Amino acid sequence: MESQLPQASSSASPTSRLEALPDELLQDILHYCLLPLPKEPYTLKEEQKLDYGKAVETSRKFPSCVLVSKRIYQTGQPLLWRHLRISSGSRLDVVLSMIKKNPELGKLVRTFDARSNPRVFSLLQAKEVVEFMPLLHALTIVLHVSKKHPHDLSSLKRLTHFKCAWYIDHQTTTTAQSLDHELILPVTIESYKQRSMRIVTPEALGKHFAQLPRLQELHIHIGMLGETGNLIGDLPQEAKIRVLTLTKTSTVVVDNFIEPLISHGIETGLTKLLSRLPRSLRCLSLTSTYLTRTHIPALQQLCSRLEELRIGNPRRGFNGTVQTEYDKMIRISDVEDMVLSVKEPRTLKRLDISGLAVSEQLKLGVSSLLTTLSLPLEVVIVLD
């Protein structure tokens, strides 16, 4: 009688297959499983290249994969620390505690994002981030405003992207006025995003900008546009600003009483700013900015060198989504004049008119913007 012996399975377990891979291939696989959060797109060109919503969903999809074996953990640990996003105060305490115990972990961090952390960084915590994460390339943080103690980030010699919001502790601060807060920045910064501008004086912001000779992208979120008229003048002459984003909080239309509130100082401040923009500028986003026909001449001049323009409108209906009409608002005919009056060769490739009133956007179908052959428009964005 012929006996049948059980044969050993030729198929190895998934873990052992991974273990058999060279370090380089294993690192590539883990890098895909631990994709970092993508850079938030600020231009239409970036949005075309990146499906941001999908990229956020797929980032850090399988962090537990590094726990399957000791070798995979050793290979994947640097990738886990490379891009940190802090979502809670307790997690921040844990991360800082681990890095202080093992400073080598801090040297692995390249991007540190604390935008969703509900707790504002203290002066000590901000100092610890700078001290223990010396190789940061990108930093997003909320800082305490202090008259006495400056935030010194100058030792971050590789920092190229910096996003900052400011916070005042009203329990310990008696004044409600803006403060001339000192922030010492490294000259390596190329992209700067500033929020909470009402808390910090324009003079202080001018001092911040004056430290950035390599600045190429500037993103400013403000409450009233009248505050920005002189900011560009503080930039170093070496700075070649290519992207400028100017936004403000959208205003819900209640009645005509709101008109003088949102237009106060805006026309003159924005006109002054537009007239001072550098010739290196290629992408201008005025999303949620209170534009009027007064600004058309300045925008017309800019269209001679812009590759991308996003036109804004802060006034929305009660549901917060429908663009509404207001006095002296920019119409589609004004956009045609701005763009088509430019002498050839024209450079504008991407145009966002989703901020115009809906009634004006509907006129795009018969607009000369779509029929002028000498206009190199590739993308026109309207309201969905």
Dump pLDDT digits (tens) for 291-349. Answer: 788 889 999 999 999 999 998 765 544 444 555 666 778 899 999 999 998 888 889 99
Could you list the residue range(s) of the whole structural domain that residue 48 is in? 21-81
265 pLDDT higher than 60: no
Which pLDDT does position 127 carry in this prediction?
Answer: 85
Looking at the structure, do residues 104 and 65 belong to the same domain, yes or no? no
Q: How far is CA 92 from the centre of its chain?
A: 22
- 227 pLDDT exceeds 80? no
Number of structural domains in the chain: 3
The Cα–Cα gap between 370 and 359 comes to 17
Co-location of 366 and 274 in the same domain = yes
Distance CA 263, CA 240 (A): 30
Residue 243 DSSP SS3 = strand
Distance CA 364, CA 357 (A): 12
* Shared domain check, 53 and 152: no
The answer to whether 274 and 315 have CB atoms below 8 angstroms apart is no
DSSP 142-186: EEE--SS--EE-TT-TT--EEEEEEE--TTT----S-B---EE--
Domain boundary among 62, 81, 100: 81
Residue with tokens 């500028």: 281
Distance CA 306, CA 282 (A): 4
The predicted structure's pLDDT at residue 336? 94
In a domain, 98, yes or no: yes
Residue type, 225: L
Average pLDDT score over residue span 177-196:
81
pLDDT digits (tens, 9 = 90+) for 13-66: 656 777 888 888 888 888 777 766 656 777 777 776 666 555 555 556 667 778
Q: Would 210 be classed as within a structural domain?
A: no
Residue 279 has pLDDT above 60, yes or no: yes
Distance of alpha carbon 148 from alpha carbon 145, whole angstroms = 9
Kindly state whether residues 311 and 287 are assigned to the same domain.
yes
Report pLDDT digits (tens) over 58-95: 556 667 778 888 888 888 888 888 888 887 777 888 88
For every residue of 351-363, which 3-state class applies, written as one string?
A: EECCCCCHHHHHH
Same domain, 323 and 178: no
Task: Identify the domain boundary among 33, 53, 81.
Answer: 81
Q: What CA–CA distance (Å, rounded) separates 54 from 59?
A: 9
Q: Could you tell me the CATH number of the domain that includes residue 319? A: 3.80.10
pLDDT at 213 over 70: yes
Q: Identify whether residues 270 and 166 lie together within a single domain.
A: no
Please report the beta strands in the chain, taking only residues with DSSP state E, as ranges in sequence order.
83-85, 111-113, 138-144, 151-152, 161-167, 183-184, 191-194, 217-222, 243-248, 251-252, 283-285, 308-310, 315-316, 350-352, 379-381
Most confident of 7-21, 110-124, 188-202, 356-370: 356-370
Q: Distance from first CA to last CA of the chain, Å, rounded?
A: 77
Confidence (pTM) = 0.80
Q: Are residues 259 and 379 in the same domain?
A: yes
Q: Which of 165, 186, 207 is the last residue of a domain?
A: 186
**pLDDT score at 328:** 79
Share of the chain above pLDDT 70, in %: 70
Comparing 50-59, 176-185, 190-199, 359-368, the range with the smallest average pLDDT is 50-59
Question: How far, in Å, CA of 86 to CA of 91, rounded?
Answer: 6
Q: Are 52 and 41 in contact (CB under 8 A)?
A: yes
Contact 103, 125 (CB under 8 A): no
Q: Which residue has the higher pLDDT, 89 or 356?
A: 356
Note whether 64 and 122 are same-domain residues. Answer: no
pLDDT given for residue 55 in this prediction:
53
The C-alpha atoms of residue 23 and residue 7 are separated, in whole angstroms, by 31
The confidence score (pLDDT) of residue 282 equals 95
Lowest model confidence (mean pLDDT) among 9-13, 142-146, 265-269: 9-13
pLDDT at 249 over 80: no
**What 3-state class would DSSP assign to 212?**
coil
Mean pLDDT of 150-166: 89
Highest-pLDDT range among 160-169, 187-196, 313-322: 187-196
